[in-house]
Structure 1
Amino acid sequence: MTTRRIDVLDVLRGVAIMGTLGTNIWIFTSPGGPANALDALAQSGTVETFLRFLANGKFLALLTLLFGVGLELQYRSAARRNAPWPGWYLWRAGLLFLEGLIHYVLIFEFDVLMGYAVTSIIVAYLIGRSDRVVRAWMITVGSAFVALIGLATFIMVYGQVSTVPPASEASTLFSEGAYLDQVAARIQLIGVYRVEAVFIIPMGIVLFLLGSRLMRAGIFEDSVQGATLRGRLMLAGLGVALPLNLLTSFAGEAWFLVDRYLLPPLVALGLLALVTTVVHRMSGAPGTVRRGLTAIGRTALSCYVFQNLAAATLCYGWGLGLAARFAGLRPWWVIGAWAGICALFMALSTLWLRRYDRGPLELLWQWAYTAPQSRRVTNDKIMDNSIKR
């Protein structure tokens, strides 16, 4: 890969990480917290609904596409080294699942890393297959996913089924509860909070494979072919899907699944193309914003986890308790909270990378990934020496 293409991926990851916080921040800043996420969504005013629309689902989908690109890079690396595939990548996926589980239990109910880990194991066995096989998987899983979303939406629209339980009451767990009480609730309600995997995994399979194939098609190349492909994606994603997504955002809670899981992936394709085009057209030294986005992209795992921890500390009762204290200032203070956290992590990640080449969690994760391999190599050498003797 050229340096320019690596820069593009770092910027895209930075945008995706900041965008996922743009979705999650509405959960953190709600006095009821994750326990009343759907209640808060149903009660949103016009301004808040529009602000939620700007991020909801789109950056989750963009991050999912980029995970597919990362999987493609891992596959290419193994092919260059003539290493077995998926081989040690399965250990990598296992570590990602463990990271997600810890993140879920200790910090945030709607972690996506566990779903990505399961998805990556499935896609690892598909990514090296022929285009025909990959296309068949994408069409089959994608069709089933669309049918599931369509059926559920039809039932909610015409069957008078609400996404919010009729007897739902405001929870004080996050505005007044202790940290350990929240941890206990996450463990107790893991089946409830993890139900999103029903949508994340099939969507992930399609987007992982699509990210891989878009990279092979030259989406990140500064070429005529790449520019043409990006233009088509921007037209479809930003010209067609984005206006439709705006409509579903104001169509009511019954359209929640379409609004989060069906149209946003199409918008994300347009965003991927747009950001890539903008980066390619930039000349000269990167400015402050681009350097900050790149730094976040290079420390994406650390920023994803720690920005959620920062938001929880600011908003929950065991921290500063700002969600309950500033409830009357929604939605405006939420924008400031998001911008402040993003600026903080732009600065922190930039400073960290002056000394280290990876983020703190990335360094720990890399050690956990390579340590068993190093131990195996050492044991193999010992055995070889014993045989020679």
Structure 2
Amino acid sequence: MKPDRNPAVDLVRAAALIGIAVVNLPFMALPSQALLTLPEAWPDRLAVQGTELLFQAKFFLLFSFVFGWGLEIQSLQARRAGASFARRYSRRLGMLALFGILHALLVFTGDILLLYAVLGLIAWALKGASVRGLLGMAMALVPVAAACLAVIVVVLADAPLPPDHPGLGGSYVETVLARWRDWPPVFVFLVLFQGHLALAAFLVGMAAARTGFFEEGNAAAARLARAVPFLLAAGLIVNLVYVGAGRSEALPVAMAGLASLALGGPLLAAAYLGLILRVARTVRMPAFVVVAGRNTLTCYVLQGVLAGLVLGGYGLGLFGDLGQMTILALSVAIALLSMALVAAWAQRFGQGPLEWLLRRVTLA
């Protein structure tokens, strides 16, 4: 295994940043009631269903995969340095959890950093398993994720509509108070919606690192490349079931539709991974994309900060005023802008500010 300087890894991270922004931004741009039903205008409906089909529960899996891969790389680097990986990693997860709490309250309620810190502890505990064991546990988590997704449908069917509060449309203080009130149920939702699949991706990433997945000529990467057409076809079919049935008023149909995402998400995420590896081998990407892929923590947080400045009542005040197609375009623009800004910073100072702080704490 080689240290994390492979541009393919950075490209996977960069692609994940854009996909995560596409999924997250509607939750910052619209009241919660507006997210529960499909919009009437066909461009907005197309944007919603296109996001559900191609983005939702796919790109966070790529991010999770690389997170697990990084766990193994960090362990190797600690051994090479003669340092205690346990101490380094515990400090890293503690700092990540602190970032997550602050991010959830000050920037975006749907934060994943705290969840990653918690799942990182579980992955750490399972680190002693073999490659076959890691992959077996990951596969076993897929039906568990499907069951949790079905439970979400049942819970939401009986839950009252969320209260209508200012959200990002209010002042910054009102926004923080709304996040404080909303965060506990949102965090529980995130655990049920993506926790099990994220942990599965962690474990697959750990197994991939042990087999040199990102190295030139790796057999597993070659098999993935050959399987891309099948993965794309199967993933699109399963995700069409999710899009078509997930909003059904018939409870059993809606349960089956959302549960299908536990299979459809990983299928398309694997296909995307194979496609990204092919692009990394054949296309020279702009330097800012690669640099941003090495500083994803700062990019991720900056996405929410920029979105708040555009949407919030303390900024341009566009909360609730944009259609879904406009939000889709805005999310891509914000993702690219955050990547360009962080890349410029990192090229000047060596790394993003949050990466610098996380590294300082990790290495003590």
Same-fold call, TM cutoff 0.5: yes
CA offsets 1:319-346 (integer angstroms, 9 cap, x no match)? 21113333xxx23322331232133223
Whether the 8 Å CA contact 2:12–2:276 is kept in 1: the answer is yes
Partner of 2:251: none
Partner secondary structure for residue 156 of structure 2: coil
> Which of 242-251 and 253-262 deviates more?
253-262
Whether 1:152 and 2:151 are equivalent positions in the alignment is yes
Instruction: Give the structure 2 partner of residue 71 of structure 1.
Output: 71
Partners of 1:43 and 1:356 in 2: how far apart? 45
The equivalent of 1:359 in structure 2 is 352
Distance 1:119 1:169, change over 3 A: closer
Closer, same or farther: CA 135–300 of 1 in aligned 2, 3 Å? closer
Gaps of 5+ in 1: 374-389
The yes-or-no answer on 1:174 pairing with 2:167 is yes
State the 1:308 CA deviation.
0.9
For each residue in 1:341-380, what CA deviation from the matched residue of structure 2 results, as whole angstroms up to 9, or x when unmatched?
A: 133223212321221221011112222333xx3xxxxxxx
Q: What letter corresponds to residue 229 of structure 1 in structure 2?
A: R
Larger deviation: 123-132 or 263-272?
123-132
User: Over aligned residues, Cα RMSD in angstroms?
Assistant: 2.7
Which residue pairs with 1:186 in the alignment?
Answer: 179
Q: Which residue of 2 aligns with 1:307?
A: 303
Shift of 1:226: 4.4
Question: What per-residue deviation string (whole Å, max 9, x for no partner) do you get for residues 218-240 of structure 1?
Answer: 43233162453222552443121
Aligned ranges 1:1-389 → 2 under 5 Å: 6-30=6-30, 32=31, 35-36=32-33, 39-45=34-40, 46-53=45-52, 54-149=54-149, 151-152=150-151, 156=153, 161=154, 163=156, 168=161, 171-174=164-167, 176-195=169-188, 196-223=190-217, 225-253=219-247, 254=254, 257-258=258-259, 261-282=262-283, 286-288=284-286, 291-326=287-322, 330-370=323-363, 373=364
Mark the CA change 1:11 to 1:170 in structure 2 (over 3 Å): closer, same or farther.
same
Alignment check: 8 A CA contact 2:72 2:206 kept = yes
User: Helix, strand or coil for the counterpart of 1:325?
Assistant: coil
Closer, same or farther in 2 for the Cα pair 1:287/1:366, shift >3 Å?
Answer: closer
CA distance in 2, matches of 1:71, 1:210: 11
Larger radius of gyration: 1
CA deviations on 1:269-326 (whole Å, 9 max, x unpaired) are 11111101221123xxx343xx232122111000100111111221122221113333
Q: How far off its partner does 1:98 sit?
A: 0.7
Task: Give the percent of matched residue pairs that are identical in Structure 1 and Structure 2.
Answer: 28
| Unaligned ranges ≥5, structure 2 | 248-253
| 3-state SS in 2 of match to 1:68 | helix
- The answer for the alignment partner of 2:250 in structure 1 is none
In structure 2, relative to structure 1, the CA distance for the partners of 1:346 and 1:166 (3 Å cut) is closer
Provide closer, same or farther for how the CA distance between residues 191 and 223 of structure 1 changes in structure 2, counting only shifts above 3 A: same
Change (3 A) 1:287 1:14: closer
What is the total number of aligned residue pairs between the two structures? Answer: 351
